[in-house]
Amino acid sequence: MPDDPLPFIDLQSQRARIDPPLQAAIARVLEHGKFILGPEVAEFEHRLADFCGAKHAVSCANGTDALVLVLRDLGAGPGDAVLVPAFSFAATAEAVALVGATPVFVDVRRDTFNIDVESLAKAAAWIRDQSDLRAMAVIAVDLFGQPADYSGIATVAEGHNLLVIADAAQSFGARQLGRSVGTLSPITTTSFFPAKPLGCYGDGGAVLTDNAEQAKRLRSLRAHGKGNDKYDNVLVGTNSRLDTLQAAILIQKLAIFADEIAARERVAVRYAAALKDAVVTPLVAAGTTSVYAQYTIVLPERVSREELRKSMTAKGIPTQIYYPKPLHKQAAYAAFPAPVQLANSEILASRVLSLPMHPYLSESDQDRVIAAARDAVAP
Ligand SMILES: *Cc1c(COP(=O)(O)O)cnc(C)c1O
């Protein structure tokens, strides 16, 4: 049936591909019964670090906790400002607020959706010259799967003595100038939420670092601040471990991840070729790759996004809006400083649209998405 609705993300095709080894891996965990920090957790951490070339991977309960654990380890708290993009998922700002520090919003670029380096420099100067806060860190988000401009960000960070944290919840697997996400900044967090490019069957997250001491402290923080044993507490920690079952599942998914990244890229190339004259297709910066956590287009001003979505839905093509409201306009974050213009974040929030994207999208289904989108934007 040509008009059967397509899934936005197809996890069942992936499951069918790896079902026997996946079932066996799950059965092994049920058999050995080490559900918390069982052997699969350490094995997955090693494989994850190897995959990206980072020295250490510390898994945890989710991508939000990964950010919170890092901020806590860095000592972020009241009086500290952490610069974050206004156009991101809420968790980026939430983690900052959760540790008692102050998120300060920065604008993004219209073309890559990532932090605008000039806006970052302006916001950092505002913190230094016109606030009582101490600028401590910047969280660079790799939105929709493309790494941010880490060399530009590093230049501003050096000038203002900022630590650079990469929120790579959407970009694990991408590369920039020959290096992988996980090694593009001193510390990187990621998420294994099911819909992320590398997702598990529940919540999961990880921190990547080359610093052995930091990795050791993060392992302690995720397990109640434990020291030499469970009942020796050297830090005020929390409970934020990756389940053994999720680690076992992730080991199986990581084995096919490189191949899936290549398949995502093929979908993106076909989408771009067929849509670039009708809408703004995503720009991937020179020397950078994207894992296309989302394939996000920007609609022309004359097109009503709601009408377009309705017309595509009627043809069985689901779409999503990431994100309809920039963070500085969210009730929870409206009181935090927004010292610079956030015009790009606001325009993008009103005009972006994400199309179905996953490694198992057939060419004929891609063509359905393309035809529906083209029909809907035709003047
Ligand atoms: C998904 C996401 C997170 C949070 O990850 P969870 O595992 O859902 O807690 C953080 N930042 C960004 C940019 C994300 O997309």
Rg of the chain in Å (alpha carbons): 21
Identify whether the C-beta of residue 225 lies closer than 8 Å to the C-beta of residue 236: yes
126 lines ligand 1 (CB under 6 A): no
Q: Please state, in angstroms and rounded to a whole number, the distance separating the CA atoms of residues 148 and 143.
A: 8
* Ligand 1 pocket mutation pick from 65, 89, 196 by most atoms within 8 angstroms of CB: 89
The 10s digit of each residue's pLDDT in 323-335 is: 999 999 999 999 9
Quote the ligand 1 centre to 140 CA distance (angstroms). Answer: 13
Quote the ligand 1 centre to 169 CA distance (angstroms). Answer: 5
End-to-end CA distance of the chain: 28
89 lines ligand 1 (CB under 6 A): yes
Quote the ligand 1 centre to 64 CA distance (angstroms). Answer: 6
> Which of 77, 82, 81 lies closest to 92, judged by CA?
82
* Ligand 1 pocket mutation pick from 9, 62, 64, 320 by most atoms within 8 angstroms of CB: 64
Can you tell me which atom of ligand 1 is nearest the CA of 92? 11
141 lines ligand 1 (CB under 6 A): yes
Structural tokens at position 273: 């070729």
Structural tokens at position 8: 């936005």
91 lines ligand 1 (CB under 6 A): yes
The enclosing H or E element of 135 equals strand 134-141
Q: What does pLDDT average to in each consecutive run of 10 residues of the chain (379 residues)?
A: 83 97 98 98 98 98 98 98 98 98 98 98 98 98 98 98 98 98 98 98 98 98 92 94 98 98 98 97 97 97 96 97 98 97 98 98 98 92
Cα 2 to chain centroid, rounded: 33
Quote the ligand 1 centre to 300 CA distance (angstroms). Answer: 28
pLDDT of residue 198: 98
167 lines ligand 1 (CB under 6 A): yes
88 lines ligand 1 (CB under 6 A): yes
205 lines ligand 1 (CB under 6 A): yes
Q: Please state, in angstroms and rounded to a whole number, the distance separating the CA atoms of residues 379 and 368.
A: 19
Long-range contact set of residues 257-264: C-beta below 8 Å, sequence gap at least 24: 257/51, 257/173, 257/197, 257/198, 258/173, 259/359, 260/14, 260/197, 260/359, 261/173, 261/174, 261/197, 261/291, 261/359, 263/359, 263/360, 264/197, 264/291, 264/292, 264/357, 264/358, 264/359
> What residue type is assigned to position 183 of the chain?
T
Can you tell me which atom of ligand 1 is nearest the CA of 203? 7
Can you tell me which atom of ligand 1 is nearest the CA of 88? 13
